[in-house]
Amino acid sequence: MPFPARVDVWQTDAVAATLRERAGVDPDEPILVTRLAEQLGIRVRVVPHANLSGDARLEPAGDGWRIIVRKGLSRERARFAVAHELAEWALRDEIDERIEDACNVIAAAILAPRRAFLRRSREVGKLAFDELASPFGISQTTAALRSAEVSIFPLAIDCPGALHLRGPDDWVWGTSTQIRGWARGTPRPGLQKVRITDEPRHMALVEEDQRTINYSRVYVTSYASLQTCGAP
């Protein structure tokens, strides 16, 4: 089933849950992602940077599959890269221009399952990106995006080469130029900036007053003219 122009997070969460169930791992707790891959019959191998154009690659190996990961990545980036390739494996028969976006969202859901992440966000706050990231072995950018997906609120992250957006179907952010201007200068009324401390080039924008938000679904959008940031 092709993914729509906006990727539905409930749909991608279901793919992540199915992978965990198929591997026989706890659907609600943080995992060792290489072990998940192995339990799905997919080998993970680390190779020198020269042998890869990106962080990781999924490729056939005999009668199965393997994931090649670039040597020297941070723990968080390596975990995300493996999870992203697992998502590509799950969607390997799909042909759709939004597959890469979908795989990024599925990767975050694999590493930070909804119920466990929601419990943590209730403990520390949904904008405490550093404290949300640590238990799941993910970057603060991934934690911020996952927080918006799980707690359902509009969020934009400005990073070099891309804008990562989360929000309900009827939320209007504005143009890419406007969003970048708010992230790098003074945000429009009703928005606040939240610093991503493990990556100074990244800045999050969220709605200031989230008490009135009562959205039931959240969607992933991005500007097609901008490249993705690699692993969020």
Residue 227 token pair: 């490249």
SS3 of the chain: helix, strand, coil, percent, to 5: 40, 20, 40
Helix (H, G, I), strand (E, B) or coil at 39: helix
Selected residue with higher pLDDT from 225 and 29: 29
Residues 6+ apart with CB under 8 A from 29: 113, 116
Beta carbons of 218 and 170 less than 8 angstroms apart: no
Q: What is the dotted CATH code of the domain comprising 7-109?
A: 1.10.10.2910
What ranges make up the beta strands (E) of 71-161?
155-159
pLDDT confidence bin for 226, thresholds 50/70/90: very low
Tens digit of pLDDT for each residue in 200-214? 999 999 987 754 444
Q: pLDDT tens-digit profile of 29-87?
A: 888 999 999 999 999 999 987 678 889 999 999 999 999 999 999 999 999 999 999 99
**Number of other residues whose CB lies within 10 A of the CB of residue 206:** 22
6 confidence band (pLDDT: 50, 70, 90): low
- CA neighbours within 13 Å on the CB side: how many for 38? 7
Residue 216 has pLDDT above 70, yes or no: no
Taking the C-alpha atoms of residue 57 and residue 74, their distance in angstroms, rounded to an integer, is 17
pTM: 0.87
The answer to whether the beta carbons of residues 145 and 229 sit under 8 Å apart is no
Strands 42-47, 64-70: pairing kind: parallel
Per-domain boundaries in the chain: 7-109, 116-221
Q: What is the pLDDT of residues 12-45, one digit of tens each?
A: 889 999 999 999 988 888 889 999 999 999 999 9
